[in-house]
Structure 1
Amino acid sequence: MSIEVSNESGVDVSEDELISVARFVIAKMDVHPAAELSMVLLDSAAMADLHMRWMDLPGPTDVMSFPMDELEPGGRPDAPEPGPAMLGDIVLCPEFAEQQAAKAGHSLGQELALLTVHGVLHLLGYDHAEPDEEKEMFALQRQLLEEWVAAQVESYHADRQSQKDQRLLDKSRYFDEP
């Protein structure tokens, strides 16, 4: 899976974390593992320009998704064998997201992870224009984000345990010496 991040926003963010959450969601949604995704982070002025150009709405927004192919979870149903595809672009605005994060009482990293999940789901055809669509998409978004966080915590604890085990093994080599 290829995920490229281009940070043109001027805000320092963890690109590794954005890639991690995007990769997790793409895998969980059963998208072909060779799929490609592009993520672009823009400042407020550039995002406002995109927002007006594509949505005819003034001012910046937090996330916009630009699907490349018509995909369903698991790939195109009319394809004989699902193959790699360019999912599209997710455009994030960290400046705007930072304001939302402050209002929600969490970090910019948490907000960007949420917006990344949201953007990937849009690329996969999910929408929230109608109440039933919104309920489905936001429930899935919450579930995926919670599962990703749980996987991050589990990975952290496994890494810590591995480090402890290695220190113990390093010390044990002295037991064999006279």
Structure 2
Amino acid sequence: MLQIELNQELLKGGMRFPEKRLVQIAYEVSKALKLKRKHNISAAFVSEKEMKKLNLHHRGKNSVTDVLSFTLNNEDYFGEILFSYEQAKRQAGEMKHSVRDEISFLMVHGLLHVFGFDHEKPLEAKKMFPLQTQILLKLGVDPRI
């Protein structure tokens, strides 16, 4: 089972990603991956400046990205997911869906990366994207985001 700890301190104006939604995402991803033991995941919103810096350091890309995921596998946390709220908000506006759905999509996408899935190569994408679609449909999120 997954337990997601989401730091939302960066969000202003009383905006919050619902705790209930985190529980739903954790449940559906746990079920899809058939997780047998507890995995703690740290997640947080970071500024665009910080996200750009991290993206450059870890991926060699000097631009803001929406989500970064890391497998830590230490005694406290199995993984970490970082989000750019501003980038997610922009993407939601461009795609004409809610920020909640965009962050749900990014959370599922990031969790799959933490558990070793990738989409850089066609064969990897063939494994990751159908699973991602299955989870998103269970959550009521359009998988075409």
Same fold (TM over 0.5): yes
Out of 111-120 and 94-103, give the one that drifted further.
94-103
For 1:22 and 1:33, how far apart are their aligned partners in 2? 13
Using the alignment, how far apart are the partners of 1:66 and 1:60 within structure 2? 17
Structure 1 contact 21–117 (Cα < 8 Å) conserved: yes
- Structure 2 runs not aligned, ≥5 long: none
Whole-Å separation in 1 of the counterparts to 2:105 and 2:87: 13
8 Å Cα contact 2:48/2:87 also seen in 1: yes
Preserved contact between residue 2 and residue 34 of structure 1 (Cα < 8 Å): yes
* TM-score, reference length from structure 1: 0.69
> Which has the greater radius of gyration?
1
1:86 counterpart SS class: coil
Q: Is the alpha carbon distance of 1:85 and 1:31 closer, same or farther for their aligned partners in structure 2, counting shifts above 3 Å?
A: farther
Partner SS state of residue 54, structure 1: helix
Instruction: Please give the residue correspondences for 1:24-103 in structure 2 after superposition, counting only pairs within 5 Å.
Output: 24-69=28-73, 86-103=77-94
Contact 1:10 1:43 in 2 (8 A): no
Secondary structure of the 1:66 match is strand
Q: CA RMSD in A?
A: 2.2
1 or 2, which has the higher helix percentage? 1
Amino acid corresponding to residue 7 of structure 2 in structure 1: S
**Cα–Cα, structure 1 residues 18 and 95, in superposed 2: closer, same or farther, change >3 Å?**
farther
* CA contact 2:4–2:22 (8 Å) conserved in 1: no
Give 1:33 shift: 4.1
Q: How many residues matched?
A: 137
Paired amino acid for 1:29: L
Letter in 1 for 2:84: C
Does the 8 Å contact 1:41/1:94 carry over to 2? yes
Ranges of 4+ aligned residues in structure 1 off by more than 3 Å: none
Residue number among 117, 123, 127 corresponding to 1:126 in the alignment? 117
TM-score (norm 2): 0.83
